[in-house]
Chains A and B, each alone.
Chain A
């Protein structure tokens, strides 16, 4: 018995040491004062040995200059075999370098590049939100700074209808799949419900203290969620127009809110650089994601898998909905402010930036395979290049963007493209892209 326990202790110690070695030793920079302390404690012989060792290492000309990895150190553990036996080999193989090599070997999926197909003008202000008919995919709707909502035919790009009723910018639109209702949120503190059979506003949801930035319909329940500058998410009962619940907790204005059929049923992103997943049965947040360091402007759910993506300045990440586990860091460091995100079924993530660039990513690997600037409309200013909203249609073959030059642009993939013709940007994962 005692023999076994000693073995176990050794194994544990060895395990922890190895974990430490592999994960943190090469990643972290030791602060100077601690390094000095360590050096003081060392004997002369030790210092000499280290110096020699370092000389030999540099002579060996390591391939990975960023991270030093001492392979032979692991062999020094007498009980490494025991560790493997106890904890499994997979867990020990978490060193940064190995992970990086694993990642290099990965081949991101190829997607056809995107090009501009059509430009539609008709709004008198910035096009702040785009939403595609979720039922038939026949039309899409845009909301603008000129306080109107316009419905367009998706195939022809013709204006079908203009809805007026808001008095300030329309910031968000959501269409119900179970009722012929459309919901719009505006900076005039109002959420309106439009009947698409009568083409008229039939309900007002009044109660926000400030402008409403986002609205979304719950896929199964008869509630809508709206959130805005007053930094609370409000759930409204559609039938009675009653505010069912107020989810408070964000410390800044909320940019977007999203509903899911199962927990977490509400996810919101905010100016305070956090995402919150809400438990609406308890009326509190169940998970707070603090990985982003700046204003999280957008949120997009994957249509075919249970995950979501979020974007803050130069930082796009995807999350598992269930528990908020980080899935992918997208290669988006040079993008600047990102205004909108959208994902299609093929695993293409679109990010529209504030300076008018479209970036397309492979959703699984986070590979940025295309970046293109938006086409300027003649007569528009340089400062009017900016993508404010964007959404794939239901098939995922068309991308509709609303821009600050008051136009709506429709993009499609290049026909007859092949990986040979259009290889896209090279796959070059950096260790630095494993950001904190």
Chain B
């Protein structure tokens, strides 16, 4: 009656409204929770730990227990509890530890393990009648061999997690960010236009966004600084000024040059004037004597001038090649006539001497390699080398010596001396052959002298 009137009666029934024996136990949960401490001695650990599991969320989960029971006592675990817990845990941990400490493969004897793994399968052949059997034996493995497969990832946590409903509000009351603020905080992902090792397809707008040239508009205050404009202006002004200066300097130089030329002209004119006056003075001295001569010279000059004019007229009628030739002839460079006459010849190049090292490869190598060689050419010519140390009959001082040497050669005792072809190499005295020494006393001395 009353429940039909209230709003709550019209709401869907509460989740755990279906009454069962378990629900009654839940209803008395608080009392039980309080009692847990008193009766904990009888409970096994598993019961205690799983006591609250899978019962679903009840209101008591939210309620602080001390709100109802302000004087709730929570005694520290008794010594007995601590000891039992210690013993049980220690047993488990010792077991784990012993497994960890003992090296792999030593705990189980290999033979026994293998025998246990032998498996035999018997089956009928195709034709029937014949029974075949297969024995499956584990392949023996080297216990010291490193693992074939490498575990890269961490093992996932065990799936048997306890029932853990979320017992807090998930909708946070903190103010939500507006879209604008979120956009302001948005950092675009880094995209390279050069590297894409995984080969992902990257949309064009993202590429454009990542390009520094295009996102000037996005970041707003990235206008070109006015200093760039002022810089270019200043550069323009400076250039103009520099050009003006250059022009001024060139003008000044030209004016100076002109002035120099004028002065020089003036000087020349003055010189000419002086010379003329001088001549005039001389002429005035011997005017009468040489009046004929002067008229004659004037006449020849006139004739010369007329010939020159005629020549110019002729030249103006010639074609280009002839004119060039005429020009060359005027500067004494026209030799075509001489060639025809055989007077001009090509200059003789046979007399020019080249360094032979420029042409032969071996020579250049020698030049490179023989750095420690002081001289380019041997002092003595090759053919003379063999005869340096030869006694020359013609130049020998006395005939006796020659006779001696011929005698020696005939006896054949010291043929080595005869065949020697180079500088003498001195060796230690040979004391084993005193006879030889005695005989060759003079010759040995002679060697030392040479």
Contacts and interface: CB of A to CB of B under 8 A. Distances in A.
Contacts of A235: 93
B172 A293 contact: yes
B81 A262 contact: yes
A177 interface: no
B100 A293 contact: no
B234 interface: no
A365 interface: yes
Interface string A20-41: 1101110000100011001001
B396 interface: no
A244 B64 contact: no
B52 A76 contact: no
A16, A87, A329, A434, most chain B CB atoms within 10 A = A16
B75 A263 contact: no
- Interface of A, secondary structure class, is mixed
Interface in A64-121: 73, 76-77, 87-88, 90-91, 94, 99, 102-103, 106
B162 interface: yes
Contacts of B70: 106, 364-365
B14 A284 contact: no
A30 B10 CA distance: 11
A337 to B, nearest CB: 14
Contact of B77 (A25, A30, A261, A288): A261
Contacts of B17: 16, 20
Interface in B371-393: none
B9, B49, B155, B162, most chain A CB atoms within 10 A = B49
Contacts of A103: 67
Given A281-B89, A286-B162, A436 B62 contact: yes
Contacts of B166: 290
Contacts of A320: 65, 74
Contacts of A302: 74
Contacts of A245: 93, 96
B74 to A, nearest CB: 4
B52 A242 contact: no
A65 to B, nearest CB: 19
Given A24-B14, A73-B6, A237-B97, A291 B64 contact: no
Given A103-B67, A436-B168, A20 B8 contact: yes
A263 B45 contact: yes
Contacts of A35: 7
Contacts of B85: 220, 261-263, 265
A323 interface: yes
Contacts of B116: none
B6 A221 contact: no
A249 B157 contact: yes
A273 B164 CA distance: 12
B51 A305 contact: no
Given A16-B14, A244-B93, A262-B81, A436 B167 contact: yes
B118 interface: no
B3 A287 contact: no
Nearest to B79: A261
Given A77-B2, A244-B93, A326-B63, A274 B164 contact: yes
Contacts of A13: 19
A284 B90 contact: no
Contacts of A289: 167
Contact of B89 (A265, A291, A293): A265
A118 B162 CA distance: 47
Nearest to B1: A76
A261 B79 CA distance: 10
Nearest to A292: B168
Interface string A228-260: 000000010100101111001100000000000
Contacts of B312: none
B17, B89, B170, most chain A CB atoms within 10 A = B89
A242 B100 contact: yes
A434 B8 contact: no
B214 interface: no
Contacts of B101: 240, 242
A94 B52 CA distance: 21
A134 to B, nearest CB: 15
Contacts of A317: 64
Contact of A287 (B6, B28, B52): B52
Interface of A: 12-13, 15-17, 19-21, 23-25, 30, 34-35, 38, 41, 46, 49, 73, 76-77, 87-88, 90-91, 94, 99, 102-103, 106, 220-221, 223, 235, 237, 240, 242-245, 248-249, 261-265, 273-274, 279-281, 283-293, 302, 304-307, 317-318, 320-329, 364-366, 434, 436
Given A265-B85, A327-B66, A366-B64, 5 more contacts: A24-B14, A91-B31, A286-B49, A293-B170, A322-B36
Minimum-distance CB pairs A-B, first 10: A288-B164, A76-B2, A293-B168, A248-B157, A286-B49, A305-B74, A262-B85, A262-B77, A12-B19, A25-B8
